[in-house]
Structure 1
Amino acid sequence: MSGTLYIVATPLGNLEDITFRAVRILKEADLIAAEDTRHSKKLLNHYGITTPTMACHEHNETSKAQDLVQRLENGSTIALISDAGTPLISDPGYRLVSLARDKGIPVVPVPGCNAAITGLSASGLPTDTFLFLGFPPRKQGSLNTFLDNTARHKGTLIFYESPRRIIRLISSAITAFGDRQACLARELTKQYEEFLRGPLSKILDTLETRETIKGECVLFIEGDDEQSAGLSPEQMEAMIMDGLNQNMGTGELAKNIARLANCPKAQVYDMILAVKKRS
């Protein structure tokens, strides 16, 4: 009879943010598969959990999954945890869960913290519909395409990003979406937890005044609202004609008008092409 694979959510930062059930499962399991055993040691020690641990991260998951599934098939109970929050949500674990599923091994979630949902609840942006996008592409060209493809989604957009690239993401988002309302959540549940709310441009200005930015970031951006454009279609077309008469490049013209109109760059780009076709 096979064992059970538990997917256990752990705190984002504050060690008190863990369920009684999660602590019990971690104590009773035969093995804990952790993203970083050194990082998880602080949590395990805090709750007196002495269960053996094994590293299972993005660089070794393919090979470790086979070993872990074999242990499960032999009857072991294994708890999968990530460094913080819910495993598999922009964290390792998919290969293991997928293989366990294929083998008919019970996979049981033990719910708890998740940065995207935690931040969304306090963002001040609509929560009825949202799109979780995880970490965006690192290359600028891929990032631009990625953002353009989500520009017309009506729900709140949720991104994870490192502090080293958050300014670039916000700047690129302004170009792709216009100056939408947003919220940046940083260091969730930790001592220096911070929420920056307002237009993307205001958040960007605040960050650019800082010498350093620390802590993992979650960026929330309001969805597309066709009624929120700052310029009418007639005004936008007049600006397009004026820009074309000044021999402005299509990309630069689309970027400038999108910022003023508070609408996606791709939408303005399409309008420019339509105007050119009629000319």
Structure 2
Amino acid sequence: MTDHHHEHHHQHSAAGADDSAWAELLDLDAEVLHTYLSDVTSQLAQLTRDDPPGRILDLGSGTGTGTLALLQRFEDAEAIAVDRSPDLLERLRGKARAHGVADRVRTVQADLDDTWPDFGPVDLVWASASVHHLADPDRGLREIFERLRPGGLLAVIEMAGFPRFLPDDIGRGRPGLEARCHAVQAQEHAERMPELGSDWGPRLSRAGFGIVTERPFAIDLRPPLPEPTGRYARAFLRRRRPPHHQPPHPRLARAHPPRPPHAAGRPRSGGGDRPAAPRRGCGRPGPGSTPGR
């Protein structure tokens, strides 16, 4: 973590009709991985135990998974949730009402690749899988630094890879189908989102932050699984497919038959690579640095 330093949301946005499918995936993600989220916010509470945050900024808030978790953890705080998608923000407001915290949440629709709104000084910035989506992440980190009060905390969370759901050998074709699909997608993402997988420590330091802590979280679900796990796997894998109007990637066009129905939505266990691990970093402004407004 970094003290006044500092994981995706991306600016959570998928345009138009795709917002509905994206929102479903974000909500399922929250249901399936809630234990991990609780661990992260618990560590934030430890880091801020002497000075709990009063104003929290969630960048790329999506449907509010991080926003609501932070408000639950910090019961006296208010949150500003920022996303470029009005539909996702509307869904967030509905969830805030359902949780009885609507009066503690303000939503802001903004494209952070354009102009950053004046949020006023904040105590904690939460950037979960969002920084790598910015066109200029270094500029984004500088903007965050300017908005954090002295001594404030930035929490950056980034995934080290895509989730894996299938066993290494699904019983049809050559083993390792999902690993090969991930390799192709990693190559495509490297071209479209070159900041994915970046080493954020040096970039945080250049923006003025001092790293407080950095910690990997390995998420490896084992039976009994949360009820929505199958729906989460299917929703995620659907998003990995190319649109109907696009031909399959040439390296996948030779591929194997579809996985059998019994394998759908089953988390990978045994064999293959380790599950993807999100990495979280937090930081504060470095020594001698003063965020200015």
TM range (shorter): 0.3 to 0.5
Higher helix share: 1
Higher relative contact order (CA 8 A, sep 6+): 2
Q: TM-score, normalised by structure 2?
A: 0.34
Q: TM-score, normalised by structure 1?
A: 0.35
